[in-house]
């Protein structure tokens, strides 16, 4: 098919000729004739580089009435760059047609854009945030819009523009054509198609989505010797995990499962050396959720058809990429979300690229959680459990007078602090010793690959080429990673690709962004409003050399505690004292943030001591709840406490391995 045959105006054909476009690309061939028709709701699964801009741009400029003064065509896209690019492309295609095209995006003077719109415009290319702003100021009328193009719909939703898109689509007339382009089709994009389109024509270019879009593929780069420790952290970071760990050999499967079980995790192996009866038994236990983690070989796990698996952990990558597809496909079944986590050593990132290419999926690089992150998760889990615990009045009645006498001198707040510290100290001590497990790329690997360079981290833990910023608001201000990303992109007009790691803490946050935008980011984001909270932002200084170097932090681990502009003045723990020191403007109710360990020296006598090193030494930290052994609250009986205290034996050994705490996983009796 030629462009002539497709039905474009002669003026458009002329500019295409000048551009050297000889024949339509596949998506253009399929989309253009349809989009030139009367009713043309359309979904195009296509990535950048397929010619999608012309696929919607050519019919758009052909269909539009070039004498219109209020917008007939509306193109919405996620970033300023794309916005400018699309507007420029449309202008080039429409060179011989008199069409007013205006690009509106954040980070620049809105009044100039308002003036341009006022002058009369047929097509508006906009980022969602700025368009919403214009709608709210009544500076744009969408009442004549006949065509709405949603470009890179998945990326817009990733960036948290869901509400804006809904709102924009609601502001346009009911009878319009919606043309949606997206590289992938997650549920949210499908929802938009369903809500705002009438029987859309669907075109998928390049590939069928082989990989299940509900699976997040994340890889972690670790040193070979740290594989096992890294797996443990991933499990500890996901206390509710119901997961499969894949190993390459029977031997490795047996070793990993055995080590995990010894350390109190609810894990068992599944491999070919086991008798059929054993395998059936293990499978049954896993199926009934009596077992939380199954460590398996590819062959043994064949035919394992279980819903609700939350995580697949690839202890090693399989030799065969096909097997990776099978492994990861064990999670995210029946429309659920799931994660496939992959541990690679510093020489294996090429394998990730090979899988990405073959599966047509994208991996993100994860950071093995650091002590603080795991502690927070575990502590919150514990606190949740405490809050939800049934109080058996009758059973505890006889102990209560003694217990109450013990606490007599402590206020409620102090009791809570002691309780929190009792666990927190235990967590933190174990993980502190463990250090940072994230490894850098080896030189020959991914070499000049842009992505790998972006992810290299400097000695201060910040990605090469990136600047780290402190943001004055955090989770308790309603901030989440998507929200922050969107806020920054909106305020600055940057693309999400320019923004790196985001760490949302309870009352403040951090993010990284390309160095060259640092000044603009500070200027444009400072003083902005995020859902009623004023945002102040500063460039963080490189981490000071202070005593936390043993924790490394190559993964950009949360450096909040050290060397940041004097705000997190140095306790020895580096980042451990989260949010200490008056970070919040209102003076920081510290008890809310970050569970600071008081340090044994500071504690009053009579406090609960964390349990001794004996158990930790054997396997380190065992998280509470889930399938795992209790591990905590074991009174040490040390000299600090008066006798008659609250004594409870934290079990050790296999007998109580499956002790549970009323969480979803049940203990087999
Ligand atoms: P896009 O899908 O917008 O990312 O387009 C990718 C690149 O292909 C852009 O540089 C377009 O100018 C170019 N392009 C689009 N359609 C054609 C065509 N039919 N022939 C040659 N180049 C094209």
pLDDT per residue as tens digits for the range 444-503: 333 333 333 334 455 556 777 889 998 988 887 888 887 888 889 888 888 777 888 888
Query: How much is the pLDDT for 594?
Result: 26
Average pLDDT (574-580) is 29
34-43, 232-241, 259-268, 323-332: the lowest-pLDDT one: 323-332
Contact 193, 150 (CB under 8 A): no
* Fold match flag (3-204 vs 215-365): yes
Higher pLDDT, 582 or 146: 146
Helix, strand or coil for residue 386? helix
Q: Is it the case that residue 275 has pLDDT exceeding 60? A: yes
Whole-angstrom Cα Rg for the chain: 29
Which residue's C-alpha comes closest to atom 14 of ligand 1? 51
Tokens at 19, concatenated: 């551009």
How much distance in Å is there from the Cα of 204 to the middle of ligand 1?
17
Query: How much is the pLDDT for 461?
Result: 62
Q: Is it the case that residue 582 has pLDDT exceeding 50? A: no
Average pLDDT (612-629) is 34
Is the Cβ atom of 51 under 6 angstroms away from ligand 1?
yes
Fold of the domain spanning 215-365:
Rossmann fold (3.40.50)
How much distance in Å is there from the Cα of 382 to the middle of ligand 1?
55
Highest mean pLDDT among 65-74, 321-330, 445-454: 65-74
Q: Is it the case that residue 222 has pLDDT exceeding 50? A: yes
Count of CA atoms in the C-beta half-sphere (13 A) of 171: 19
Contact 296, 271 (CB under 8 A): yes
| Best mutation site among 1, 22, 25 for ligand 1 pocket (most ligand atoms within 8 Å of CB) | 25
Task: Determine the CATH number of domain 3-204.
Answer: 3.40.50.300
How much distance in Å is there from the Cα of 486 to the middle of ligand 1?
28
297-301, 361-365, 519-523: the lowest-pLDDT one: 297-301
Query: How much is the pLDDT for 421?
Result: 82
Query: How much is the pLDDT for 49?
Result: 66
Is the Cβ atom of 53 under 6 angstroms away from ligand 1?
yes
User: Where does the pLDDT of residue 441 fall: very low under 50, low under 70, confident under 90, or very high at 90 and above?
Assistant: low
Which atom of ligand 1 has the smallest separation from the CA of 47? 2
Q: Give the integer Cα–Cα distance in Å for 529 and 227.
A: 43
Query: How much is the pLDDT for 433?
Result: 67
Cβ atoms < 10 Å from Cβ of 411: 9
Q: Give the integer Cα–Cα distance in Å for 186 and 121.
A: 33
Helix, strand or coil for residue 74? strand
Which residue's C-alpha comes closest to atom 5 of ligand 1? 51
Tell how strand 338-344 and strand 215-221 pair up: parallel
Q: Is it the case that residue 290 has pLDDT exceeding 70? A: yes
Contact 266, 639 (CB under 8 A): no
Is the Cβ atom of 47 under 6 angstroms away from ligand 1?
no
Q: E strands along 50-122, which residues?
A: 73-76, 101-104
How much distance in Å is there from the Cα of 35 to the middle of ligand 1?
18
Q: Is it the case that residue 563 has pLDDT exceeding 60? A: no
Which atom of ligand 1 has the smallest separation from the CA of 53? 3
Query: How much is the pLDDT for 310?
Result: 93
Highest mean pLDDT among 198-212, 339-353, 582-596: 339-353
Higher pLDDT, 627 or 98: 98
- Greatest Cα-to-Cα distance within the chain, rounded to the nearest angstrom: 96
How much distance in Å is there from the Cα of 361 to the middle of ligand 1?
22
Is the Cβ atom of 15 under 6 angstroms away from ligand 1?
no
Cβ within 8 Å of residue 401, ≥6 positions away? none
Average pLDDT (67-81) is 89
Which residue's C-alpha comes closest to atom 6 of ligand 1? 49
Give 314's DSSP letter.
Answer: E
DSSP 285-299: HHHTTS-SEEEEETT
* Interhelix angle 128-136/162-171, nearest 10 degrees: 50
| Best mutation site among 6, 27, 54, 84 for ligand 1 pocket (most ligand atoms within 8 Å of CB) | 54
How much distance in Å is there from the Cα of 552 to the middle of ligand 1?
45
Q: What is the pLDDT of the chain when averaged over all its residues?
A: 75
How much distance in Å is there from the Cα of 48 to the middle of ligand 1?
9
Helix, strand or coil for residue 647? coil
Query: How much is the pLDDT for 302?
Result: 66
pTM of the model: 0.42
Q: Give the integer Cα–Cα distance in Å for 7 and 615.
A: 76
| Best mutation site among 24, 30, 53, 181 for ligand 1 pocket (most ligand atoms within 8 Å of CB) | 53
SS (H, E, C) 160-194: CCHHHHHHHHHHCCCCCEEEEEECCCCHHHHHHHH
User: Where does the pLDDT of residue 48 fall: very low under 50, low under 70, confident under 90, or very high at 90 and above?
Assistant: low
Which atom of ligand 1 has the smallest separation from the CA of 23? 19
Is the Cβ atom of 54 under 6 angstroms away from ligand 1?
yes
Q: Give the integer Cα–Cα distance in Å for 447 and 427.
A: 37
The helix or strand, by DSSP H or E, that contains position 340, with its residue range, turns out to be: strand 338-344
Q: Is it the case that residue 588 has pLDDT exceeding 70? A: no
Closest CA to 101 of 122, 128, 78, 79: 122
Which residue's C-alpha comes closest to atom 2 of ligand 1? 51
Which residue's C-alpha comes closest to atom 1 of ligand 1? 51
Fold of the domain spanning 457-648:
Alpha-Beta Plaits (3.30.70)
Report phi then psi at 435, rounded to 5: 70, -165
Query: How much is the pLDDT for 160?
Result: 84
Is the Cβ atom of 338 under 6 angstroms away from ligand 1?
no
Give 342's DSSP letter.
Answer: E
Give 497's DSSP letter.
Answer: G
Helix, strand or coil for residue 324? helix
Q: Is it the case that residue 22 has pLDDT exceeding 60? A: yes
Query: How much is the pLDDT for 303?
Result: 56
How much distance in Å is there from the Cα of 55 to the middle of ligand 1?
9
Q: Give the integer Cα–Cα distance in Å for 4 and 7.
A: 6
Is the Cβ atom of 370 under 6 angstroms away from ligand 1?
no
Give 58's DSSP letter.
Answer: H
Mind listing the pLDDT tens digit for each residue in 237-271? Answer: 998 899 999 999 999 999 999 999 998 899 999 98
Mind listing the pLDDT tens digit for each residue in 526-558? Answer: 999 888 888 999 887 543 332 222 222 223 322
Is the Cβ atom of 21 under 6 angstroms away from ligand 1?
yes
| The dihedral sign for the CA sequence 100, 106, 109, 115 | positive
User: Where does the pLDDT of residue 628 fall: very low under 50, low under 70, confident under 90, or very high at 90 and above?
Assistant: very low
Report domain extents, the chain: 3-204, 215-365, 371-431, 457-648
Is the Cβ atom of 48 under 6 angstroms away from ligand 1?
yes
Tell how strand 509-514 and strand 499-504 pair up: antiparallel
Highest mean pLDDT among 494-498, 629-633, 649-653: 494-498
Which atom of ligand 1 has the smallest separation from the CA of 50? 2
Burial-class residue 569 by CB neighbours within 10 Å (0-12, 13-18, 19+): middle
Higher pLDDT, 333 or 244: 244
């Amino acid at each position: 098919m030629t462009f002539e045959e497709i039905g474009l105006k002669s003026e458009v054909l002329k500019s295409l000729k000048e551009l050297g476009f000889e024949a339509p690309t596949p998506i253009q061939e399929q989309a253009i004739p349809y989009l030139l028709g009367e009713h043309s709701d359309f979904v195009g699964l296509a990535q950048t580089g397929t010619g999608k801009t012309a696929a919607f741009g050519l019919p758009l400029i052909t269909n539009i009435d070039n004498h219109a003064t209020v917008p007939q065509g509306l193109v919405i896209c996620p970033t300023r760059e794309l916005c400018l690019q699309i507007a420029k492309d449309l202008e080039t295609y429409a060179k011989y047609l008199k069409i007013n095209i205006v690009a509106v995006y954040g980070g620049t003077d809105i009044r100039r854009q308002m003036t341009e719109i006022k002058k009369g415009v047929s097509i508006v290319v906009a980022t969602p945030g700025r368009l919403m702003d214009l709608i709210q100021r009544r500076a744009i009328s969408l009442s004549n819009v006949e065509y709405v193009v949603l470009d890179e719909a998945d990326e817009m939703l990733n960036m948290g523009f869901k509400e804006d898109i809904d709102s924009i689509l609601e502001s346009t007339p009911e009878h319009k054509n919606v043309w949606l382009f997206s590289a992938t089709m997650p549920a949210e994009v499908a929802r938009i198609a369903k809500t705002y389109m009438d029987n859309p024509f669907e075109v998928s270019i390049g590939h069928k989505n082989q990989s299940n879009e509900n699976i997040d593929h994340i890889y972690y780069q670790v040193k070979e010797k740290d594989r096992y420790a890294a797996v443990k952290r991933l499990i500890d970071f996901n206390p509710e995990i119901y997961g499969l760990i894949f190993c390459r050999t029977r031997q490795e499967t047996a070793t990993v499962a055995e080590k995990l079980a010894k350390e109190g995790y609810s894990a068992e192996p599944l491999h070919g050396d086991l008798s059929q009866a054993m395998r059936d038994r293990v499978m049954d236990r896993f199926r009934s959720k009596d077992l939380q983690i199954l460590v398996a070989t590819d062959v043994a796990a064949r035919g394992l058809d279980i819903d609700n698996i939350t995580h697949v952990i690839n202890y090693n990558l399989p030799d065969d990429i096909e097997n990776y597809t099978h492994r990861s496909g064990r999670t995210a079944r029946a429309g659920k979300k799931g994660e496939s986590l992959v541990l690679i050593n510093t020489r294996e990132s090429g394998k990730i690229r090979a899988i990405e290419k073959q599966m047509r999926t994208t991996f993100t690089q994860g950071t093995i959680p650091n002590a603080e992150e795991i502690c927070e998760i575990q502590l919150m889990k514990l606190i949740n459990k405490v809050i939800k615990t049934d109080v058996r009045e009758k059973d505890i009645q006889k102990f209560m007078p003694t217990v109450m006498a013990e606490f007599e001198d402590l206020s409620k707040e102090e009791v809570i602090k002691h309780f929190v510290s009792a666990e927190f100290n235990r967590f933190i001590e174990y993980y502190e010793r463990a250090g940072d497990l994230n490894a850098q790329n080896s030189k020959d690997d991914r070499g000049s690959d842009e992505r790998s360079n972006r992810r290299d981290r400097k000695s201060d833990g910040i990605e090469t080429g990136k600047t780290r910023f402190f943001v004055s608001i955090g989770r308790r201000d309603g901030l989440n990673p998507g929200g922050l990303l969107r806020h920054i992109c909106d305020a600055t007009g940057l693309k999400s690709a320019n923004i790196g790691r985001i760490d949302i803490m309870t009352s403040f946050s951090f993010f990284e962004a390309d160095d060259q935008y640092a000044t603009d980011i500070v200027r444009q984001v400072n003083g902005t409003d995020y859902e009623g909270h004023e945002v102040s932002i500063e460039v963080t200084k490189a981490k000071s050399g202070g005593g936390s170097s043993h924790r490394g932090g190559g993964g950009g681990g949360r450096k909040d505690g050290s060397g940041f502009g004097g705000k997190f003045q140095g306790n020895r723990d580096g980042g451990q004292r989260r949010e200490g020191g008056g970070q919040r403007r209102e003076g920081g109710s510290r008890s809310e943030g970050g569970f600071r360990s008081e340090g044994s020296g500071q504690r009053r006598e009579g406090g609960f001591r964390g349990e001794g090193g004996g158990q930790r030494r054997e396997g380190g930290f065992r998280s509470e709840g889930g399938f795992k052994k209790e591990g905590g609250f074991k009174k040490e009986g040390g000299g600090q406490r008066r006798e008659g205290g609250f004594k409870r034996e934290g079990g050790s050994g296999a007998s109580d391995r499956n002790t549970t705490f009323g969480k979803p996983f049940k203990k087999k009796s």
